[in-house]
A and B are shown apart, each in its own frame.
Chain A
Amino acid sequence: MSTLVTANVSDGTTTVGTEYVVNGSAKAWVNFFGGDPFAVRNSFNASSISDNGVGDYLTNYVNSFSAADYACSTAAYSTSRGNAMSWPSNASSSVNRIYNDAGVVIDSAVVQATSHGDLA
């Protein structure tokens, strides 16, 4: 078995670093503290996050998607069981919302979100 070693892969128009092919890539991801402090830990292709209230966050993208039909998912770390949900707000931002088992929104210590889809 042979190994092809190259830094970039190109289709003639678009070039991407091989690390994205090897490691896989979301078009955007963000990991942030959802309470106090409210701050981004690490990310890619996010321009800002907004805290819209308890357990209610918005991720804004630097490079937006082509349409609001991309797929996004959210996970959260909290002291209680619950659900983390997300959906495209529009092509350039997505909603991240955290609920407890009773369906009540709650702050999360850490929120992780990824988005996959076609970029603009």
Chain B
Amino acid sequence: MTHGHLWDRLAEAKSRLEPVQSKYRVIYENPEDLDAPAAVMCPDPNWMACALAGGVLPAVDTYLRDRDVPDGQPKEHPYAATIGPMSEEEAIEYLVLKDCPRSVVEYKGNRTILKIVPIEMIPTDRSFRNAWRIAQ
């Protein structure tokens, strides 16, 4: 059974799904660069619509395996079977595994270096943006 190409499914999904702005943001620090400011990750609203609808995105495992595939070699995720609908919380967890640096996801230390927070918790004053850290 063919599932088509992911890019084609995204194009079809964009034509029929309304974008969904997530109420969450993911904050993370790079354990390999302690001086770097905390990063804020924002889920894409069209991607979130696909995640909530189901039938468009592949399993996140396919992305994790593709990380080890050398450039230019065939990757699994564009042709993998699609998965069903996710809740918004499940979609955020998927996104953490897919888009956060591996060093963040696999961190085993004592510091809190990743948090999923409501948008309201992101500071609106960016005067000291490069000093943002996750409170311990």
Contact = CB atoms under 8 A, between A and B. Distances in A.
Interface residues of B, number: 43
Contact of B99 (A16, A54, A93, A107): A93
Contacts of A35: 126
B41 A48 contact: yes
A27 interface: yes
B37 A52 contact: yes
Contacts of B63: 92
B47 A48 contact: yes
Interface band, chain A:
35 or more
Contact of B75 (A14, A50, A64): A64
B34 interface: no
Interface string A98-120: 00000000010000000000011
A92 B119 CA distance: 25
A61 to B, nearest CB: 9
A49 B44 contact: yes
Interface string B58-79: 0000010010000110110110
B8 A50 contact: no
A49 B118 CA distance: 16
A91 B71 contact: yes
Interface in A81-97: 91-93
A51 B4 CA distance: 32
Interface string B26-47: 0000000000110111111111
A20 B7 CA distance: 12
Interface of A: 14-17, 20, 27, 30, 32, 35-40, 42-54, 58, 60, 62-64, 66-69, 91-93, 107, 119-120
